[in-house]
Amino acid sequence: MRYKIYTKTEKAWDAMFSAISHAKSSILFEMYTFLDDTTDTHDFIKILKQKALEGVRIKIIIDSLGSYSFSNNSLKILKDAGVEVFIFKVLFRHTHRKILVIDERIGYVGGINITKFYKKWDDLLIKVDGKVVKYIIRSFARVYKDCGGKDTLVLKYDKDIQEPKGKVWFMEHFPIKNSFGMKKYYRDKLKLARKKILIVTPYFMPNRWVVKALKKTAKRGVEIEIILPLFADHPSIANVSNYFYMQKLFKHNIKFFLTKDMIHSKMMIVDEKEGIVGSQNMDIISFDLNIESGVFFTEPAIVKELNEIAENWKKDSVPYSPKMRNTHLLDYFYEFCFSVFEGAIIFLNRLTRPL
């Protein structure tokens, strides 16, 4: 299996744009945030229209919240060209995934969104080929079907197939269907790690079980490093939770590194032997409500390259120190709010999950 890793949003756009422009038969595209404000450098609307007019079969799923300002004009352009576009809209649910599949042969999975605001961010996108792509298509087909898609050429992939045994495979997370692949993975790996856990996430609002697991793992002597942005893009919420939980966990010998540039990557590497790259944030919403996905790997070359990428991010970061945030009375309020929020999310998950 061949692969390629992209670490900058703009470079990932370059790769995705090129892949779309060379598509011969089909394009499957599922995106949390897909806006039409990148036309000055990456006119995805124009190239998708062009490929549709050439006869390429194109299916697009965008999230109603993440892509709320996608213009009606761009939607009309795509549909008039023959592109099938679905807006994922389910009460309290969102598809937070970022998936692109070209000609049923090449897949892209990661944390990359498409909007001008994210253009210069650090992020991760992995390009893969081989058997794993079939599993990506199967997962796309499930969401496509739930959105009302009828094309049998896509729906034929919506069937149970034997899980792969290779060094790279696709992992999905469907809380709406009572399938919690990511939660199980993180829970198991935090429990079984022996030497080191490396986590990269832009937003850090962990569930209580994650906090407990991190503490227990660190207590066993496992080295834990977490890379976060110095200043998140949603300062009124993300920075509060990021710094609150850093303060809470720092005293348990967990190290935090704060990147000077905004980092939107989502990754975990365990014992320098295996890991996952995907759309999953370390937060309550991702674990309990959102549809997520990722590429799991035990391939040594991928682990080595991602470790090197993380080391470069750490070199350009600031180590967290308790001096960065003074403990104050509001911490009791924050603790209460986060606890209530988690309870509400768990309740909403159960309430809106089919029996």
Binned at pLDDT 50, 70 and 90, residue 89 comes out as very high
Binned at pLDDT 50, 70 and 90, residue 85 comes out as very high
Among the listed residues 134, 120, 157, the one whose alpha carbon sits nearest the alpha carbon of residue 9: 120
Mean per-residue pLDDT of the chain: 94
Quote the CA–CA distance of 191 and 199 in Å, as a whole number: 15
Quote the CA–CA distance of 89 and 174 in Å, as a whole number: 15
Alpha helices in the chain (DSSP H): 9-21, 44-53, 72-80, 132-146, 152-155, 181-192, 208-219, 240-250, 284-288, 300-315, 330-351
pLDDT at 162 (0 to 100)? 67
Quote the CA–CA distance of 164 and 135 in Å, as a whole number: 9
Quote the CA–CA distance of 226 and 259 in Å, as a whole number: 11
Quote the CA–CA distance of 185 and 352 in Å, as a whole number: 23
How much is the average pLDDT of 61-84? Answer: 97
Burial bucket for residue 308 (CB in 10 Å: 0-12, 13-18, 19+): exposed
Identify the residue with better confidence: 315 or 354. 315
25-40 confidence digits (pLDDT tens): 999 999 999 999 999 9
Which domains, from first to last, does the chain contain? 3-165 (3.30.870.10), 181-351 (3.30.870.10)
Among the listed residues 206, 200, 186, the one whose alpha carbon sits nearest the alpha carbon of residue 228: 200
Q: H/E element holding 99?
A: strand 98-102
- State the pTM of this model: 0.95
168-193 confidence digits (pLDDT tens): 999 999 998 889 999 999 999 999 99
Structure token pair of residue 262: 């905004």
Binned at pLDDT 50, 70 and 90, residue 163 comes out as low
Lowest mean pLDDT among 218-222, 230-234, 248-252, 350-354: 350-354
